[in-house]
Structure 1
Amino acid sequence: MVPVSDTKDVQRTLDLALRIGELLLSNGAGAADVTATMASVTHHLGLRHTLVDVTFTSLMLSHQESVDDTPIVMRRHVTHREVDYADLTAVDLLVRALLAGEIDRDEAASRVLRIASTGHPRPRWAITASWGVTGAGIALLLGGSWIVLAVAAVAGSVIEVVQRRIERLRLPFFYSQVAGALVGTLIAVAVAASPAPVDPSVVVTAAIVMLLAGLGFIGAIQDALTGFTITANARLMEVMIATVGIIVGVSAGLHVGGWLGLDLSIDPGASGLGQLPGVMLGAGVTAGAFAVSAYSPKRIVTPIALLAALTSGAFLLVTQSDVGRPGAAGVAAFTIGFLGYYMARNFRVPPLVVVVSCIVPLLPGLSIYRALSLLAGEDISGLLPMITAAGIAIALASGVLLGQYVAQPLGHEARRLERRLAGPRLVGPLRARAGRGRRG
């Protein structure tokens, strides 16, 4: 442990912990993980009486050596950033190296500044292309033909470009979601108006899944389960607003189709999934392409694709056994959480990188679209698939976290972790000091 003797040392230590926490929180880490990681850093660097306060948009560290000393308080505002799993991985490895004594505080501070100031590791065109591949993967997952795959790929790329342009206008994320959903649905309307043998519902569903993929379902549920209720409520509200944006955009597109006399509804008896080989291949392509679009390290993309293919195949088999979709989604998500823990450890990335990418093929885009197509026709039965979609989303997030709980080491180490951690760690070192923290 490094002794701390003066105010400047305290401030430098707190600043390092705050910068680490900012990068973690802005890239999707849960409040419990951020709190434990920041506390571990300050404790390792000699601060024994540090209070950590994490909320959705701000971080606070307070250190008071004794009752007679004046507390030193430092805050940092967390701004919205594009999720970058390369940055998340780099910070995670940096913290591990610091706690292992491989680097000192000054070297860690220099690396954090370099991570924060360095641009994304992939060019913009590669991200646009990966969105297109994601759309094609979802279409394959849903049993679409080659023509449908091509249209879904074009729709995915166009949605990414539109959302990027809107983001440059500094409009709230809600409008970006509305625009993306509207563009995807209008492309499906154009396809439906053409003589091409294309199922427009597959195109719309692919657009919905892509827009849902970037939302923080897992982080919100993790915060709720680990007692960070304020942050959980804020994240859930953000997810709800973004989802409402998707609903508004799709509904507007469906009304345009209705005005043109086009039927974009889904056959109520259709399962929406293709055959097992197509489902597994589509899921692998979808998860791998999403991992690329989120700047995941190259070494983990193929393992993510393989795990997603395995779990999506299991999801299809379970649903064919007359198990409800939320239950099947929970089983698949548990498998992702359990196996993803060991995969992340072997490939030296945070588990969050693996689990978020792998659940993308399981997101309830089909249920949301079925609900909207029914409600657009003033059919109140559309509420049932909307409730099903909510159940699937909750099952996915809670199943992943349960898998992480079970995957953590057993026996003596598990008892030590139980005393130190508030929940499963999706980011940060496993052996960490939880310190004192306020759950916000």
Structure 2
Amino acid sequence: MDDQRELNLTLDLCLRIGEVLLSSGAGAADVTATMQSVARHLGLRHPEIDVTFTSVSMSFHGSPEEPPVLMIRKIKSKDIDYEDLTQVDHLVRDLLANRMDLYLARSRMATIVSTGHPWPRWSVTLAWGLMCASVAVFLGGGPLVALIASAAAMTIDRAQLRLARRRLPTFYLQVAGGAIATLFAVAVAATPLEVDLSLVITANIVMLLAGIGFMGAIQDALTGFYVTAGARVIEALLATAGIIAGVSGGLSVADVLGIDLGRLVPGQALGHHVLIGVVGAAVSAAAFAFACYAPWRVLVPIALTSGLATLLHAVVADSGFGRTWAAATGAFTVGLVAYAVAGRFRVPPLVVAVSAIVPLLPGLSIYRGLSLLSAGGPATSQGMFAMMTAASVAVALASGVILGEYLAQPLKRETRRLEERLAGPRLVGPLRVPRRGRSRAPRVS
């Protein structure tokens, strides 16, 4: 009975760890590998693990004469909390290093999932406002543009929070966000103020894109988890479609009212001065990390990483390679640096990578495409091309980060057998697989 109880507790712990990792944006390969590492260390040899977008299941068959034990946990959508992700990552590492046993790990896991966010919700709203103001500066906007973008962002955050409490799907939250951003611009355009309102809309589009899991979808596709990848791609497409619907609806309102919001001139991604643009990108990345409850100690490294990637992005773009290759270069730099930064400041590389690429998200291409499509006529083809550019930039960002992580991570002897089964870099979870014989396998009675 004791062995059966220990088996059930082990499976439950692995599933709870997998739930937190998957809901925080970790790839299915990382989730599976982490659960296997924990199970193996606690004595379960060759458990069967199945990860989908909405559930995690794990089974163990100790003997052909005994029925298998199967447990399933549904994945509940929740706000991204990088503090919880970091604590779970530390729990797994401590467990594999024999600094705690099964029962202490379960107690610590219960504390992690039951503890609230590390700082109040209103501070997150302020962080979203700072992020959008910084993106506006990154795009070349002045203080007034940054102020309007910040006010729109905070309004979007509070509106989405209230709609989420009413359990509206993410698609409608994104529609509301895109509409609010555009209507803010329409309202300001009706005043005598002379402001480049296209930058206001673009900055808020970047904010809405920041929560979409492009990286997880690409990572799952590259590592062979096609079902989970397909589900994440569909979710990302629906969320992006919601942004497009909201912004296009606001542009239609502007056309009906006869208000001209202006047209965004491409190629002004760093505004009028490279240094100001780099600083804006760095602050926006740190603000996004704060809004996702990343630990304080990693905010400055994230800002520096994002600033470096943005600078390289500008250099490649100015060299004539195009926005897609420039985005891929910046993302590759993020992936290459994120592994070292994450190890130094004791956070999962996912926290650094996702936050640092936020300023490079294709908000500019999406707004340009929508504005050209709304103009109609010969501009329609240019609008479609801009939307395709946005899609290619999103793929380049995700694949560039993953390639950088792959080259940055050392292939240790203990992980080679696992990496043969689960190809790809590890953005979450330990690299070391415990050796055989460290713990005794539970006998099922």
TM-score > 0.5 by shorter chain: yes
CA contact (8 A) 2:206 2:358 kept: yes
Long gaps (5+) in structure 2 = 437-445
Match of 1:52 among 46, 49, 52: 49
- Tell me the residue number matched to 2:230: 233
After TM superposition, the score normalised by the length of structure 1 is: 0.95
Q: Is 1:88 aligned to 2:85, yes or no?
A: yes
Q: Which of 315, 318, 328 in structure 1 is aligned with 2:316?
A: 318
Query: What residue in structure 2 maps to residue 114 of structure 1?
Result: 111
Residues of 1 paired with 2:384 and 2:369: CA distance?
6
Residues 333 and 109 (structure 1), Cα distance of their counterparts in 2 relative to 1, 3 Å cut = same
Q: In the TM superposition, what is the alpha-carbon distance from 1:272 to its structure 2 partner?
A: 3.9
Q: CA deviation at 1:421?
A: 3.9
- Counterpart of 1:167 in structure 2 is 164
SS in 2 for 1:6: helix
> Aligned runs of 1:414-433 on 2, under 5 Å?
415=416, 418-419=419-420, 421-432=422-433
Deviating above 4 A after TM superposition, structure 1's stretches of 4 or more consecutive aligned residues are 267-270, 410-417
User: Which of 137, 149, 155 is matched with 1:140 structurally?
Assistant: 137
Corresponding residue of 1:7: 4
> Counterparts of 1:433 and 1:207 in 2: how far apart (Å)?
45
Aligned residue type for 2:380: I
RMSD (Å), alpha carbons = 1.7
1:89–1:349 contact (8 Å) kept in structure 2: yes
- 1:167-186 correspondence to structure 2 within 5 Å: 167-186=164-183
1:434, 1:376 → 2: CA distance? Answer: 61
Cα 1:204/1:63, change in 2 over 3 Å: same
Does residue 346 of structure 1 match 2:344?
yes
State the 1:271 CA deviation: 3.0
After superposition, the Cα gap between the structure-2 partners of 1:42 and 1:174, relative to the gap in structure 1 and judged at 3 Å, is same
Q: In the alignment, what sits opposite 1:75?
A: 72
Deviations 1:58-80 (A, max 9, x none): 11111001222210011111110
Please list, as runs of the form range in 1=range in 2, the aligned pairs for 1:17-416 lying within 5 A after superposition.
17-268=14-265, 270-274=267-271, 275-378=273-376, 379-381=379-381, 382-410=383-411, 412=413, 415=416
Q: 1:347-395, CA deviations, whole angstroms, 9 ceiling, x for partnerless residues?
A: 0000000000001000000000000001111232200000000000000
Q: How many residues align?
A: 432
For structure 1, the residue ranges without an aligned partner over 5 or more in a row are: 436-440
Do the aligned partners of residues 261 and 64 (structure 1) sit closer, same or farther apart at CA in structure 2, a change above 3 Å counting? Answer: same
Q: Per the alignment, do residues 269 and 282 of structure 1 end up closer, same or farther by CA in structure 2, a change over 3 Å counting?
A: closer
Write out per-residue CA displacement over residues 124-150 of structure 1, whole angstroms, 9 at most, x where no aligned residue: 110000000001010010010111111
TM-score by length of 2: 0.94
* 1:428 aligned partner, one-letter code: G
- Tell me the distance in 1 between the aligned counterparts of 2:287 and 2:435: 35
User: SS at the partner of 1:400?
Assistant: helix
Give, in whole Å, the separation in 1 of the partners of 2:417 and 2:204: 44
Contact 2:373/2:380, CA 8 A, preserved across alignment: yes
Opposite residue 396 of structure 2, the aligned amino acid is A
| 1:178–1:249 Cα contact (<8 Å) kept | yes
2:439 counterpart residue number: none
Residues 204 and 369 of structure 1 are in contact (CA less than 8 Å); yes or no, is this contact kept in structure 2? yes
Aligned AA (1:337) = G
Residue 13 (structure 2) pairs with residue 16 (structure 1): yes
> What is the DSSP-based 3-state SS (H/G/I as helix, E as strand, rest coil) of the residue aligned with 1:243?
helix
Paired with 1:94 and 1:67, the residues of 2 have a C-alpha distance of 33
> Counterpart of 1:42 in structure 2: which amino acid?
A
SS in 2 for 1:271: coil
Q: Is the 8 A contact 1:265 1:374 kept in 2?
A: no
Q: For residue 339 of structure 2, what is the amino acid of its counterpart?
A: Y
Q: Could you list the per-position Cα deviations for residues 289-321 of structure 1 after superposition, in whole angstroms to 9, with x for gaps in the alignment? A: 000000000000011011111110111111111
Tell me if structure 2 keeps the 8 A contact 1:35–1:434: no
**1:245-298: CA deviation from partner (whole Å, max 9, x where unpaired):** 000000000011111212224245553431211110110110000000000000
Q: What one-letter code is carried by the residue in structure 1 that aligns with 2:136? A: A
From the superposition, tell whether residues 234 and 242 of structure 1 become closer, same or farther in structure 2 (CA, over 3 Å): same
Q: Is contact 2:213-2:236 (8 Å) kept? A: yes
C-alpha deviation, 1:432, in angstroms: 3.1
- Indicate if the aligned counterparts of 2:28 and 2:220 stay in contact, CA closer than 8 A: yes
Q: How much does 1:410 deviate?
A: 4.9
